[in-house]
Amino acid sequence: MRSTKTSGQEVVSKGLNGMRNRQNIFGPLLRTLCLLPVFIGFFMFSQGIRFAGSAEGKERIALLPFENFTEDPNALKFLMPKIRSRLEDKGFMVIDEATLDAFLLRERIRTTGCIGREAAGKMGRELDVRGIVLGSVNSFSNGEKPIVGLSARLVRTADCGILWADNAAFTGEDFTTVLGLGTIKEIGQLTDRVLDALFDSLAAYPLKKESGKTYKIAVIPFKNDSRRDNAGMIATYLFLSALSKNKMFEAVEFGEVRRFMVENRIRGKGELDYTNKDTLAEMTGVDGILVGTVESYSEGKGNMPPEASISARLIDARKNRILWCNRYEYRGDDDIVMLDWGRIRSAENVAYKILSKIVKDMETVTWQ
Protein backbone atom coordinates (compact mmCIF):
# COMPACT_ATOMS: atom_id res chain seq x y z
CA MET A 1 0.00 0.00 0.00
CA ARG A 2 1.37 3.44 -1.05
CA SER A 3 1.63 5.88 1.77
CA THR A 4 -0.56 9.06 1.51
CA LYS A 5 1.50 11.08 3.97
CA THR A 6 3.37 14.04 2.58
CA SER A 7 6.75 15.09 3.89
CA GLY A 8 7.45 18.64 5.01
CA GLN A 9 9.81 19.14 2.08
CA GLU A 10 7.06 18.13 -0.33
CA VAL A 11 4.69 20.64 1.29
CA VAL A 12 7.18 23.45 0.95
CA SER A 13 7.91 22.41 -2.63
CA LYS A 14 4.22 22.40 -3.51
CA GLY A 15 3.74 25.76 -1.79
CA LEU A 16 6.55 27.34 -3.76
CA ASN A 17 5.25 25.83 -6.97
CA GLY A 18 1.81 27.26 -6.19
CA MET A 19 3.28 30.67 -5.54
CA ARG A 20 5.22 30.46 -8.77
CA ASN A 21 2.03 29.54 -10.60
CA ARG A 22 0.18 32.48 -9.04
CA GLN A 23 3.06 34.80 -9.88
CA ASN A 24 2.95 33.56 -13.46
CA ILE A 25 -0.71 34.46 -13.58
CA PHE A 26 -0.74 37.79 -11.71
CA GLY A 27 2.75 39.09 -12.53
CA PRO A 28 1.94 40.39 -16.02
CA LEU A 29 -1.33 41.80 -14.73
CA LEU A 30 0.40 43.73 -11.94
CA ARG A 31 3.02 45.07 -14.32
CA THR A 32 0.31 46.19 -16.71
CA LEU A 33 -1.55 47.98 -13.91
CA CYS A 34 1.64 49.75 -12.83
CA LEU A 35 2.33 50.92 -16.38
CA LEU A 36 -1.27 51.98 -17.02
CA PRO A 37 -0.83 55.57 -15.67
CA VAL A 38 2.22 55.96 -17.88
CA PHE A 39 0.25 54.84 -20.95
CA ILE A 40 -2.62 57.19 -20.03
CA GLY A 41 -0.26 60.11 -19.57
CA PHE A 42 1.43 59.40 -22.88
CA PHE A 43 -1.93 59.19 -24.62
CA MET A 44 -3.08 62.50 -23.13
CA PHE A 45 0.14 64.18 -24.19
CA SER A 46 -0.04 62.78 -27.73
CA GLN A 47 -3.64 63.93 -28.05
CA GLY A 48 -2.76 67.45 -26.90
CA ILE A 49 -4.60 67.17 -23.59
CA ARG A 50 -3.05 69.40 -20.96
CA PHE A 51 -3.11 68.95 -17.22
CA ALA A 52 -4.76 71.60 -15.11
CA GLY A 53 -2.37 74.46 -14.47
CA SER A 54 -0.15 73.66 -17.43
CA ALA A 55 1.37 76.67 -19.20
CA GLU A 56 1.71 74.84 -22.52
CA GLY A 57 0.41 76.74 -25.49
CA LYS A 58 0.87 80.17 -23.90
CA GLU A 59 3.35 82.74 -25.09
CA ARG A 60 6.10 83.21 -22.50
CA ILE A 61 6.86 86.86 -21.87
CA ALA A 62 8.79 88.95 -19.39
CA LEU A 63 7.18 91.88 -17.59
CA LEU A 64 9.73 94.55 -16.70
CA PRO A 65 9.03 96.99 -13.86
CA PHE A 66 7.56 100.15 -15.37
CA GLU A 67 9.37 103.46 -15.02
CA ASN A 68 7.70 105.60 -12.38
CA PHE A 69 7.35 109.20 -13.58
CA THR A 70 5.08 110.17 -10.67
CA GLU A 71 5.75 111.55 -7.22
CA ASP A 72 4.22 108.51 -5.52
CA PRO A 73 6.97 105.99 -4.59
CA ASN A 74 4.35 103.28 -4.00
CA ALA A 75 2.80 103.47 -7.46
CA LEU A 76 4.68 100.47 -8.86
CA LYS A 77 3.99 98.34 -5.79
CA PHE A 78 0.29 98.92 -6.31
CA LEU A 79 0.14 98.70 -10.12
CA MET A 80 2.59 95.97 -11.21
CA PRO A 81 0.65 92.99 -9.73
CA LYS A 82 -2.49 94.24 -11.47
CA ILE A 83 -0.65 94.62 -14.78
CA ARG A 84 0.74 91.08 -14.45
CA SER A 85 -2.75 89.72 -13.77
CA ARG A 86 -4.18 91.44 -16.86
CA LEU A 87 -1.45 90.01 -19.08
CA GLU A 88 -2.16 86.52 -17.75
CA ASP A 89 -5.86 87.06 -18.44
CA LYS A 90 -4.88 87.94 -22.01
CA GLY A 91 -3.35 84.48 -22.45
CA PHE A 92 0.31 85.17 -21.72
CA MET A 93 2.54 83.23 -19.37
CA VAL A 94 4.50 85.86 -17.44
CA ILE A 95 7.78 84.51 -16.03
CA ASP A 96 8.30 84.79 -12.28
CA GLU A 97 9.86 87.89 -10.75
CA ALA A 98 12.75 86.03 -9.11
CA THR A 99 13.99 84.69 -12.45
CA LEU A 100 13.66 88.10 -14.08
CA ASP A 101 15.34 89.94 -11.20
CA ALA A 102 18.29 87.55 -11.30
CA PHE A 103 18.74 88.24 -15.02
CA LEU A 104 18.49 92.02 -14.59
CA LEU A 105 21.04 91.91 -11.78
CA ARG A 106 23.42 89.68 -13.73
CA GLU A 107 23.23 91.89 -16.82
CA ARG A 108 23.32 95.11 -14.76
CA ILE A 109 20.13 96.43 -16.30
CA ARG A 110 18.88 99.34 -14.20
CA THR A 111 16.58 101.22 -16.56
CA THR A 112 13.59 98.95 -17.18
CA GLY A 113 11.27 101.29 -19.09
CA CYS A 114 13.08 100.44 -22.34
CA ILE A 115 15.43 97.77 -23.66
CA GLY A 116 18.12 97.47 -26.34
CA ARG A 117 18.40 94.86 -29.05
CA GLU A 118 21.31 92.97 -27.47
CA ALA A 119 19.68 92.75 -24.03
CA ALA A 120 16.33 91.73 -25.54
CA GLY A 121 17.94 88.93 -27.54
CA LYS A 122 19.85 87.63 -24.55
CA MET A 123 16.72 87.72 -22.40
CA GLY A 124 14.86 85.76 -25.06
CA ARG A 125 17.51 83.04 -25.24
CA GLU A 126 18.29 82.67 -21.54
CA LEU A 127 14.77 83.06 -20.13
CA ASP A 128 12.98 81.40 -23.05
CA VAL A 129 10.63 84.34 -23.68
CA ARG A 130 9.43 85.67 -27.02
CA GLY A 131 8.20 89.05 -25.86
CA ILE A 132 8.88 91.74 -23.26
CA VAL A 133 6.27 94.12 -21.85
CA LEU A 134 7.60 97.43 -20.56
CA GLY A 135 6.31 100.93 -20.05
CA SER A 136 5.81 103.81 -17.64
CA VAL A 137 3.49 105.13 -14.98
CA ASN A 138 2.82 108.66 -16.17
CA SER A 139 0.35 109.74 -13.52
CA PHE A 140 -0.85 108.26 -10.25
CA SER A 141 -2.67 110.07 -7.47
CA ASN A 142 -4.71 108.44 -4.74
CA GLY A 143 -6.27 111.61 -3.45
CA GLU A 144 -9.74 113.08 -3.42
CA LYS A 145 -9.61 113.26 -7.21
CA PRO A 146 -7.72 110.09 -8.26
CA ILE A 147 -5.87 109.87 -11.56
CA VAL A 148 -4.01 106.98 -13.24
CA GLY A 149 -2.10 107.07 -16.52
CA LEU A 150 0.04 104.36 -18.15
CA SER A 151 2.05 103.77 -21.32
CA ALA A 152 3.03 100.23 -22.36
CA ARG A 153 4.76 98.40 -25.20
CA LEU A 154 5.24 94.77 -26.23
CA VAL A 155 8.69 94.19 -27.72
CA ARG A 156 9.79 91.07 -29.60
CA THR A 157 12.99 89.55 -28.21
CA ALA A 158 14.17 88.28 -31.60
CA ASP A 159 14.78 91.74 -33.09
CA CYS A 160 13.63 94.26 -30.45
CA GLY A 161 10.75 95.30 -32.72
CA ILE A 162 7.71 96.99 -31.17
CA LEU A 163 4.74 94.70 -31.75
CA TRP A 164 2.18 96.70 -29.81
CA ALA A 165 2.04 100.00 -27.95
CA ASP A 166 -0.75 101.92 -26.28
CA ASN A 167 -1.52 104.29 -23.45
CA ALA A 168 -4.49 105.10 -21.24
CA ALA A 169 -5.24 107.72 -18.61
CA PHE A 170 -8.36 108.54 -16.63
CA THR A 171 -9.40 110.75 -13.76
CA GLY A 172 -12.27 109.84 -11.50
CA GLU A 173 -14.34 112.68 -13.00
CA ASP A 174 -14.07 111.20 -16.49
CA PHE A 175 -16.94 108.90 -15.52
CA THR A 176 -19.22 111.56 -14.08
CA THR A 177 -22.61 111.65 -15.81
CA VAL A 178 -24.80 114.66 -16.57
CA LEU A 179 -26.54 114.32 -13.22
CA GLY A 180 -23.24 114.21 -11.36
CA LEU A 181 -23.36 110.46 -10.79
CA GLY A 182 -20.76 107.82 -11.62
CA THR A 183 -17.66 109.66 -10.38
CA ILE A 184 -14.95 107.18 -9.37
CA LYS A 185 -13.24 108.01 -6.09
CA GLU A 186 -11.51 104.70 -5.36
CA ILE A 187 -8.05 104.20 -6.92
CA GLY A 188 -8.49 100.45 -7.39
CA GLN A 189 -11.68 100.86 -9.41
CA LEU A 190 -10.11 103.61 -11.50
CA THR A 191 -7.03 101.46 -12.15
CA ASP A 192 -9.26 98.67 -13.44
CA ARG A 193 -10.83 101.09 -15.94
CA VAL A 194 -7.39 102.25 -17.10
CA LEU A 195 -6.15 98.67 -17.55
CA ASP A 196 -9.31 97.79 -19.46
CA ALA A 197 -8.62 100.60 -21.91
CA LEU A 198 -4.86 99.99 -22.07
CA PHE A 199 -4.92 96.28 -22.88
CA ASP A 200 -8.10 96.21 -24.93
CA SER A 201 -6.07 96.31 -28.15
CA LEU A 202 -3.50 93.73 -27.06
CA ALA A 203 -3.86 90.19 -28.42
CA ALA A 204 -1.74 87.29 -27.17
CA TYR A 205 -1.23 85.82 -30.64
CA PRO A 206 0.61 86.14 -32.90
CA LEU A 207 3.83 87.85 -31.86
CA LYS A 208 4.38 89.48 -35.21
CA LYS A 209 3.50 92.71 -36.98
CA GLU A 210 1.88 93.13 -40.36
CA SER A 211 4.43 93.68 -43.08
CA GLY A 212 4.23 96.42 -45.68
CA LYS A 213 5.81 99.69 -46.78
CA THR A 214 6.62 101.71 -43.68
CA TYR A 215 9.01 104.45 -42.67
CA LYS A 216 11.22 103.61 -39.72
CA ILE A 217 11.42 106.41 -37.15
CA ALA A 218 13.75 106.94 -34.18
CA VAL A 219 12.55 109.28 -31.42
CA ILE A 220 15.15 111.29 -29.54
CA PRO A 221 14.03 112.04 -25.95
CA PHE A 222 11.90 115.18 -25.87
CA LYS A 223 13.52 118.10 -24.11
CA ASN A 224 11.54 119.20 -21.06
CA ASP A 225 11.12 122.96 -20.64
CA SER A 226 7.98 122.58 -18.52
CA ARG A 227 7.71 122.63 -14.74
CA ARG A 228 6.50 119.03 -14.68
CA ASP A 229 9.28 116.56 -13.90
CA ASN A 230 9.76 113.83 -16.53
CA ALA A 231 7.34 115.50 -18.98
CA GLY A 232 9.90 115.00 -21.76
CA MET A 233 10.09 111.23 -21.24
CA ILE A 234 6.32 110.97 -20.82
CA ALA A 235 5.92 112.65 -24.22
CA THR A 236 8.59 110.36 -25.72
CA TYR A 237 6.76 107.19 -24.69
CA LEU A 238 3.38 108.63 -25.68
CA PHE A 239 4.77 109.47 -29.11
CA LEU A 240 6.04 105.88 -29.52
CA SER A 241 2.48 104.75 -28.83
CA ALA A 242 0.96 107.14 -31.37
CA LEU A 243 3.61 106.23 -33.94
CA SER A 244 3.14 102.47 -33.50
CA LYS A 245 -0.59 102.74 -34.16
CA ASN A 246 -0.01 104.31 -37.57
CA LYS A 247 0.45 101.82 -40.41
CA MET A 248 2.79 104.16 -42.28
CA PHE A 249 5.45 104.15 -39.58
CA GLU A 250 7.58 101.75 -37.59
CA ALA A 251 8.95 103.08 -34.32
CA VAL A 252 12.40 102.06 -33.09
CA GLU A 253 12.32 100.76 -29.53
CA PHE A 254 13.61 103.55 -27.31
CA GLY A 255 16.16 101.23 -25.71
CA GLU A 256 18.12 101.27 -28.98
CA VAL A 257 18.06 105.08 -29.07
CA ARG A 258 19.18 105.21 -25.45
CA ARG A 259 22.04 102.80 -26.19
CA PHE A 260 23.13 105.03 -29.07
CA MET A 261 23.09 108.09 -26.80
CA VAL A 262 25.08 106.36 -24.07
CA GLU A 263 27.70 104.96 -26.44
CA ASN A 264 28.16 108.35 -28.12
CA ARG A 265 27.98 110.31 -24.85
CA ILE A 266 25.03 112.42 -25.95
CA ARG A 267 23.45 114.11 -22.96
CA GLY A 268 21.33 116.77 -24.57
CA LYS A 269 17.68 116.14 -25.38
CA GLY A 270 15.45 117.58 -28.06
CA GLU A 271 18.25 117.99 -30.60
CA LEU A 272 20.77 116.06 -32.68
CA ASP A 273 23.64 117.26 -34.85
CA TYR A 274 24.21 115.90 -38.34
CA THR A 275 27.27 113.84 -37.37
CA ASN A 276 25.36 111.92 -34.70
CA LYS A 277 22.37 111.76 -37.00
CA ASP A 278 24.43 109.77 -39.48
CA THR A 279 25.68 107.45 -36.74
CA LEU A 280 22.15 106.76 -35.49
CA ALA A 281 20.89 106.17 -39.03
CA GLU A 282 23.66 103.66 -39.70
CA MET A 283 23.10 101.89 -36.38
CA THR A 284 19.30 101.56 -36.62
CA GLY A 285 18.56 101.83 -40.34
CA VAL A 286 15.93 104.52 -39.78
CA ASP A 287 14.36 106.73 -42.42
CA GLY A 288 13.59 109.61 -40.12
CA ILE A 289 14.53 111.00 -36.71
CA LEU A 290 12.12 113.01 -34.59
CA VAL A 291 13.27 115.60 -32.06
CA GLY A 292 11.07 117.84 -29.96
CA THR A 293 10.48 119.92 -26.86
CA VAL A 294 7.74 119.89 -24.25
CA GLU A 295 7.31 123.60 -23.62
CA SER A 296 4.46 123.32 -21.12
CA TYR A 297 2.69 120.47 -19.36
CA SER A 298 0.19 121.25 -16.62
CA GLU A 299 -2.58 119.29 -14.95
CA GLY A 300 -4.52 122.47 -14.21
CA LYS A 301 -6.11 123.47 -10.92
CA GLY A 302 -9.54 124.67 -9.93
CA ASN A 303 -11.26 126.09 -12.99
CA MET A 304 -8.04 126.00 -15.02
CA PRO A 305 -8.02 123.07 -17.50
CA PRO A 306 -4.94 120.92 -18.16
CA GLU A 307 -2.76 122.16 -21.00
CA ALA A 308 0.34 121.30 -22.98
CA SER A 309 2.44 122.79 -25.76
CA ILE A 310 4.90 120.74 -27.82
CA SER A 311 7.16 121.57 -30.76
CA ALA A 312 8.75 118.93 -32.99
CA ARG A 313 10.91 118.44 -36.09
CA LEU A 314 11.24 115.43 -38.39
CA ILE A 315 14.73 115.02 -39.83
CA ASP A 316 15.56 113.03 -42.96
CA ALA A 317 18.00 110.37 -41.74
CA ARG A 318 19.72 110.11 -45.14
CA LYS A 319 19.94 113.79 -46.03
CA ASN A 320 20.75 116.90 -44.05
CA ARG A 321 17.31 118.40 -44.21
CA ILE A 322 14.22 118.91 -42.07
CA LEU A 323 11.19 117.20 -43.57
CA TRP A 324 8.58 118.76 -41.29
CA CYS A 325 8.31 120.99 -38.23
CA ASN A 326 5.51 122.56 -36.22
CA ARG A 327 4.35 123.60 -32.79
CA TYR A 328 1.04 122.84 -31.11
CA GLU A 329 -0.62 123.91 -27.90
CA TYR A 330 -3.83 122.55 -26.54
CA ARG A 331 -6.12 122.98 -23.52
CA GLY A 332 -8.46 120.44 -22.04
CA ASP A 333 -11.50 122.64 -22.69
CA ASP A 334 -10.75 123.39 -26.36
CA ASP A 335 -13.15 120.75 -27.71
CA ILE A 336 -16.07 121.12 -25.33
CA VAL A 337 -19.35 120.82 -27.23
CA MET A 338 -21.89 121.27 -24.45
CA LEU A 339 -22.34 120.25 -20.82
CA ASP A 340 -18.62 119.38 -20.57
CA TRP A 341 -18.81 116.83 -23.38
CA GLY A 342 -15.42 116.68 -25.04
CA ARG A 343 -13.51 117.97 -22.02
CA ILE A 344 -10.07 116.43 -21.41
CA ARG A 345 -9.23 116.30 -17.71
CA SER A 346 -5.59 115.14 -17.69
CA ALA A 347 -2.43 116.72 -19.08
CA GLU A 348 -1.37 113.29 -20.31
CA ASN A 349 -4.37 113.01 -22.63
CA VAL A 350 -3.92 116.62 -23.76
CA ALA A 351 -0.29 115.87 -24.67
CA TYR A 352 -1.30 112.68 -26.46
CA LYS A 353 -3.80 114.62 -28.57
CA ILE A 354 -0.97 116.89 -29.71
CA LEU A 355 1.39 113.99 -30.40
CA SER A 356 -1.29 112.16 -32.40
CA LYS A 357 -1.73 115.31 -34.48
CA ILE A 358 2.03 115.38 -35.14
CA VAL A 359 1.95 111.77 -36.37
CA LYS A 360 -1.02 112.60 -38.59
CA ASP A 361 0.90 115.52 -40.10
CA MET A 362 3.86 113.26 -40.79
CA GLU A 363 1.71 111.26 -43.19
CA THR A 364 1.83 114.20 -45.62
CA VAL A 365 5.63 114.41 -45.69
CA THR A 366 7.35 113.99 -49.05
CA TRP A 367 10.32 111.68 -48.42
CA GLN A 368 11.96 111.84 -51.85
Give the pLDDT of residue 27: 52
Total count of residues recorded for the chain:
368
Give the pLDDT of residue 316: 95
The mean pLDDT value for 320-336 works out to 93
Give the pLDDT of residue 191: 97
Give the pLDDT of residue 9: 34
The mean pLDDT value for 92-114 works out to 96
Give the pLDDT of residue 19: 37
Give the pLDDT of residue 212: 63
- Better-predicted residue by pLDDT, 72 or 41: 72
Give the pLDDT of residue 3: 37
The mean pLDDT value for 285-296 works out to 96
Considering the entire predicted model, what is its pTM? 0.82
The mean pLDDT value for 156-176 works out to 95
Are 111 and 67 in contact by the 8 Å Cβ rule? The answer is: yes
Average pLDDT, the chain: 85
Lowest-confidence pick of 3-12, 92-101, 355-364: 3-12
Task: Flag whether pLDDT at 286 surpasses 90.
Answer: yes
The yes-or-no answer to whether 56-209 and 210-368 have a common fold is yes
Give the pLDDT of residue 224: 97
3-state secondary structure 265-297: CCCCCCCCCHHHHHHHHHHHCCCEEEEEEEEEE
β-strands 67-68, 131-141 pairing? parallel
Give the pLDDT of residue 38: 43
CA distance 221 to 317: 16
Task: Flag whether pLDDT at 206 surpasses 90.
Answer: no
The residue type of 101 is: D
Task: Flag whether pLDDT at 278 surpasses 80.
Answer: yes
The mean pLDDT value for 112-129 works out to 96
Considering only the C-alpha atoms of the chain, give the largest distance between any 2 of them, rounded to a whole number of Å.
Answer: 128
Q: Coil, strand or helix: which one is 100?
A: helix
- Output b/e per residue, 110-147; b: 16+ Cβ within 10 A: eebbbbbbebbbbbbeebebbbbbbbbbbbbbbeeebb
Question: Is domain 56-209 in CATH 1.10.3720.10, yes or no?
Answer: no
Give the pLDDT of residue 360: 96
Q: Decide which of 3.40.50.10610, 2.40.50.100, 3.40.1280.10, 3.60.15.10 is the CATH code for 210-368.
A: 3.40.50.10610
Taking only the tens place, the pLDDT of each residue in 134-146 is 999 999 999 888 9
Q: Where are the domains of the chain?
A: 56-209, 210-368
Taking only the tens place, the pLDDT of each residue in 46-81 is 333 232 333 557 899 999 999 999 999 999 999 999
Give the pLDDT of residue 101: 96
Q: What are φ and ψ of residue 131, in 5° steps?
A: -145, 160
Q: Which of 87, 108, 131, 351 is CA-nearest to residue 234?
A: 351
